[in-house]
Amino acid sequence: MALDPARYAELFRSESQDQLAAINRALLTLEDERESPEAVAEVFRAVHTVKGMSATMGYQAVAEFSHELESLLDRMRGAGGPVSQPVMDALFAAADALERGIGEASESAPRTGEMTESLSRLSSAFRAVDPDATGGAPEGSQTPGPATPERAVPERTMPERVTPASGASAVPPEGDSGTPTTGAPHVLEAKPDAPSAAPDPFDGPGVVIRIRQSATTALPGVRALIVSQRLGAIGVVAAVSPALEVLQAATEPKAFAVRLVTQATQEQMEAAVRSAGDIDSVQIDMLGRARKRAVSPQEEPIVESTSARVRQVKIDLARLDTMMNLVGELVIARGRLLQLTASSGDTALDETVQQASHLVGELQREITASRMVPVGQVFDRFPRLVRDASRSLQKEIRFEIEGHDIELDRSLLDELAEPVVHLLRNAVDHGLEGPAERTAAGKPAMGRLVLSAVRDRAAVLVRVADDGRGIDRARVLKKAQAAGLVDPSVVELDDSDLLRCVAHAGFSTKDAVTGLSGRGVGVDAVVSKVRGLGGSLELQTSTGAGTTFTLRLPLTVAIVRALLARAGGEHYALPLTHVRETVDCGPQSVRRVNGRDVLVLRDEVLPLLDIRDVVQLTAPRVAGSQREIVVFERGGRRGGLLVDELIGQEDIVVKQFDPARDGLGLFTGATILADGAPALIMDLGSLL
């Protein structure tokens, strides 16, 4: 069975990204400890895996580059001792070259100049500390032509078609249904008293080899084909079970069996199997099937044990998005159905509708849960970014990550990377001082930068905190007044006012543009992105002690719980992420101070806004109607929103839209209510 590279290209890149992340993590550990055989071994293993996958796919340039990089790493493993900084810099450059090579990989793609240069740089750096070192890519080596046998990574070549013996169509050892059995051991031979049964593919000469792939196998279907090819090189593959076609389509690690007619030794057969990589176990029945016999109860059957199976599959995110959209429409239909049957008086109908509503709710929760992934999948990208940025600015920074396991909707997580990158670069460039400045201020020479994630009810808080100099309020105030952002009479900015200034498009306290900052788009881009995700950005800073940016994000942006409010004939949805409580509007709670309405709540005075003024509604209010107040909070600050009427709570399906030009910027989306009426989703956090 020939391999179709196009079919596996996306899977190859996905699996390769995991290996690249492992390489960068190990390199960061190695740079920090300077002598870590475990870290070198981890890099070696990851590069070896990439080599095998790329050779299997026919991506020869990446395979050859990985092979030569692997050889240099092997020399490092043998040499031992501390790693010099030039070697570390060359290793990081090689990792970058490998990442770009994987991104551009194809069967016809040549080796890039970056690959050749990085190998030459690494070889030179290694020779500088080990003059006797030989091998690897010589300095100034040119991009090679077609692969020679010595450099073609022969153990990772493309699998060829393996043709079973005549009549040896593979039969799944699990049984007719293909379902793994966990009871009595499976008998490989056909029953003697069943002459009408199909011929047993394992009833014949040769040996039976039972193979189980590792739980972490990348491209399991491809590696199973490689096993067949390796065995075919030392004998005749008479049968494979499950069939090669089934194995090729596998996306989970498999257990399978091969009947091989060969004169090779047991050691040679096991070596051939393990050369494919990611093999957990190999069992060889040297008696073969020349004599009919049943597998004894003590022998392990050729099936995957339930406990060893990988219980996960990879699903295209677009398919999950489609499922979420469909369940969102179901939620809308459920609300409409509940509304229509509320007064029917038909008990049987009510029970059926309630059951259907419960099932829709369960389906919604399961699909939402299937989209939740740990934030560590994105956070793991950032140590390398901080390392490169700090070195370019000659700063010493200890970067820490907390809350790897906190889960967030996958669509949110993908969008989270951009704002976090801006905040990290901002902290490295603006927030943290250089070693000399920190020492003069009585601080440790090494700065501390922390990226963390924590759950807060129905939200996730992502924080970027540093122990740097803090934001210079006086400098920001002066720049803001010069730009007309702040009234000249203002003498001091609190944290909220400070955030509004630094988040203004084009605002920067840098006098010169650098590779990291100075263009005035960092915090502005963060605010825009976070608001588009239905979240908010908060700021806390203290002169000389540091700065903390907090991104408050909903767990999911597809379906959220919201409080529905009415103003005139319009409906508005207020996500419960920011809502704290509701109170009646009365003379005891609403006062007027300095010409403005305020809310007096348990001896606390809060600013009070009228939703009619906020949305610029001109329709008159019905006289005498009782109004209500929604108390909301953001970043420790609270306020009240006066509405005409509170309708109740409801699960709403968020529909993103592009805001109208010059329109109000306080809406994050729209939804359709149970009665079919549209409602705008209001960002309460933007009102403070």
Least reliable range by pLDDT among 161-170, 384-393, 407-416, 511-520 = 161-170
User: Which of 95-99, 234-238, 504-508 is most confident?
Assistant: 95-99
Predicted local confidence at residue 466, as pLDDT: 95
Beta strand extents in 585-644 (DSSP E only) = 590-593, 596-601, 604-610, 628-634, 637-643
Question: Which pLDDT value is given to residue 193?
Answer: 44
Span 450-466, average pLDDT: 89
* pLDDT 10s digits, 578-603: 888 998 887 778 888 887 888 888 88
Please give the pLDDT value at position 167.
35
Share of the chain above pLDDT 70, in %: 81
103-117 pLDDT tens trace: 888 878 888 889 999
Residue bearing tokens 């005749």: 236
Q: Place 4 in a pLDDT band, splitting at 50, 70 and 90.
A: low
Range of weakest confidence among 55-64, 193-202, 208-217, 404-413: 193-202
* pLDDT band, very low/low/confident/very high, at 147 (cuts 50, 70, 90): very low
pTM here is: 0.65
Domains of the chain by residue range: 5-150, 159-172+198-292, 318-370, 374-554, 559-687
Whether domain 159-172+198-292 has CATH 2.40.50.140: the reply is: no
374-554: which CATH number, 3.90.550.10, 1.10.8.50, 3.40.640.10, 3.30.565.10? Answer: 3.30.565.10
- Indicate the class that CATH gives domain 5-150: mainly alpha
Q: What would the pLDDT profile of 236-293 be if each residue is shown by its tens digit?
A: 888 888 887 788 777 788 899 998 888 888 888 998 898 887 888 999 887 544 343 3
Does the pLDDT value for residue 318 go beyond 70? yes
**Confidence class of residue 309 from pLDDT cuts 50, 70 and 90?**
very low
| pLDDT tens figures, 297-307 | 333 333 333 44
Write the pLDDT tens digit of every residue in 470-479: 998 888 888 8
Q: Is 111 helix (H, G, I), strand (E, B) or coil?
A: coil
Torsions phi, psi for 341 (to 5 deg): -100, 0
Strands (E), 272-417: 279-285, 372-374, 397-402, 407-409
* Residue 366 neighbours by CB under 8 Å, 6+ apart: none
Q: Read off the pLDDT band of 398 (50, 70, 90).
A: very high
pLDDT tier at 630, thresholds 50, 70, 90 = very high
* Cβ contact 552:461 at 8 Å: yes
Say yes or no to pLDDT of 665 above 70. Answer: no
What's the CATH fold of domain 559-687? OB fold (Dihydrolipoamide Acetyltransferase, E2P) (2.40.50)
3-state helix, strand, coil in the chain (%, to 5): 40, 20, 40
